[in-house]
A and B are shown apart, each in its own frame.
Chain A
Amino acid sequence: MSINQLQLKTFVLRLADDALVIAHRLSEWSSHGPSLEEDLALTNVALDYMGRARMFYGYAAEIAADGSTEDTYAYDRDCRDFTNLLIHELPRGDFAFTMARQYLVDEFNRAYMDLLQQSTDPTLAAIATKANKEGLYHLRRSSKWLLRLGDGTEESHNRLQQAVNDIWGYTTELFEMDDLDQAAFEAGIGVNATDLKAEWMRRVTATLAQATISIPPRDWSVTGGRQGIHTEALGHMLSEMQFLQRAYPGQQW
C-alpha cells in the first residue's frame, strides 16, 4: 500500500493546520497572561507550535511544487480549506479553558508524535522527533497546571471543571480515522489515532482524578475539522490572523 503525492500533501496539511491554529490561539495570550512568567510560557509553547506548523507547511509546499509556500497556506486559504481538528480552534476562553485544552491536546500529541517518529516518511519522522521532545515539556507544564487549578481554590476548581465539560465533546474527533488517515497509516506514513484512545483516556482520567475534576459523560461530540467543516470560531480567528495579507497581498516585513 502506498499513497500518492496529493494524498501525502493533504495529510501533511492536516498536521500543519492543527499546529498553526493552536499556535495562534496560544499567541493571543501575549501580554494578557495572568503573570509575566505565564505570559512567557504560553508564548513559548505557541512558538514551538508555530515552528512545527512551518516545518509541516514547508514540507507540504515541497510536495505540492506548485508555487505554494508556508505563507500562502497560512494566509491565502479560507475557512473551509483548513483541516485542523476542531479542538484547536476553540476560542482561548479563560486561563482554565486554555490550560484544560492544552493538557488534553498535549497528552494526545505526545502519543501521536511518539508514533509518528516511526513514519516511513523521513521528513515526517524528523519533524515528529523534534515535536515529541518539545511536547514533553508542554505536557509537564500543562498537567501541573491542571493539578493546581483543579485542587486550588473553589473558583479555580469550578472554572476548570466547566472548561473540561465544555471541551470534552471535542476530544472524540482526536481519535477518528477517515479514509485518508487510514491509507496513510497502512502505507506506514501515518499513525492509527484510534489506537491511542485507551492510553490517552487512562492518563487523562488519572490526572483529572488527582486534580479532583470529574470526567464528563461522553454524551455529545462535534466533528468535521478534517473535512473543513468548522465551528464559527475559526472564521473569526482567520479574519484577524489573515487581515494584513488580505488587505495588502504579498506584503512583507
Chain B
Amino acid sequence: MVILMSTPNPRISLLPIENYERLKRREESDLKAIWNLLDVVKDPEIPPLSIWDLGVLQDITQTQAEIRVTITPTYSGCPAMQVISEDITTVLNQAGCGNVKVAIRLAPAWTTDWLSESARERLRQYGVAPPQDEAPIFCPICSATEIRLISEFGSTPCKALYQCKSCQEPFDYFKPI
C-alpha cells in the first residue's frame, strides 16, 4: 500500500475509508493498464483534473463479455457525467477494448474529501480555489483570505462564485460536499 506510506500529512490520517478502498482497488487490480489509460479522461469542465483525481472513477472489472467501468457522479444533474462516460468508451475503444460498459454507482456518495493534495494544488493553479472544510477559503491568484461570496452557485454545480477583496479578481471556489 504505497499510497499510505508518504510523508506525514494530516490529510493522510484522515483518508476516508471509501477513498482508501478506491486506492486499494487500483493498486491491487489486474487491470492496471486500463486504470492508467483512463488517466487521460479529464473532467470536461475542469481539465487539470482527471476522473481518477476527482474520485469519479471507482472501479474497473472485466468479464469475458465486457469491461465494466464504474463511476460515481459528482452532482446528481451534472451534465459532465454524460461526456465522461462517452470519453471513457472512446479511450478504451481506441486502445482496442471493444465492449465497454460504463456503470453509474450512487453509493457511497461522492465527496470532495476524495480529492488528493496534488489535485487540490492543480485546481489552485488552474484558478479554482480548492475546497476547504475548516481552513479559510483563499484567493487562488493572490492567496488572500479577504474574500466575498458573489453567488452560492457558479459556472457549474460544483462551484461557487467569489471575489477577492485584495486583488479584486472574481474566482470560482470548488464547494466542499
Stretch at the interface among A91-99, A134-142, A204-212: A134-142
Q: B78 at the A/B interface (Cβ < 8 Å)?
A: yes
Q: Is the interface of B mostly helix, strand, loop or mixed?
A: loop
CB distance from B77 to the nearest CB of A (A): 3
| Cβ contact within 8 Å between B76 and A130 | yes
- Residues on A with C-beta less than 8 A from B150 are 37
| Cβ contact within 8 Å between B76 and A131 | yes
Q: A60 at the A/B interface (Cβ < 8 Å)?
A: no
| Cβ contact within 8 Å between B106 and A130 | yes
Q: How many A residues touch B, CB cutoff 8 Å?
A: 30
Q: B75 contacts which of A23, A38, A51 (Cβ < 8 Å)?
A: A51
Q: Interface size class for chain B?
A: 20 to 34
Q: B127 at the A/B interface (Cβ < 8 Å)?
A: no
Q: B128 at the A/B interface (Cβ < 8 Å)?
A: no
Give a binary string over B128-168; 1 marks a CB under 8 Å from any A CB, 0 the rest: 00000000000000000000001111111100010000000
Give a binary string over B92-128; 1 marks a CB under 8 Å from any A CB, 0 the rest: 0000000000000011111100000000000000000
**Measured between alpha carbons, how far is A122 from B108 in the docked complex, in Å?**
11
A48 in contact with B106 given A37-B161, A40-B154 (CB within 8 Å): no
A51 in contact with B107 given A37-B151, A40-B153, A133-B177 (CB within 8 Å): no
**Measured between alpha carbons, how far is A41 from B151 in the docked complex, in Å?**
7
- Residues on B with C-beta less than 8 A from A38 are 151
Residues in A lying within 8 Å of B, measured CB to CB? 23, 37-38, 40-41, 44-52, 54-55, 122-123, 125-127, 129-131, 133-134, 137, 140-141, 144
- 16 A-B pairs besides A140-B152, A144-B152 with CB distance below 8 A are A37-B150, A40-B153, A40-B155, A40-B161, A44-B154, A44-B156, A47-B75, A51-B78, A52-B76, A52-B77, A55-B106, A122-B107, A127-B76, A127-B106, A133-B177, A137-B177
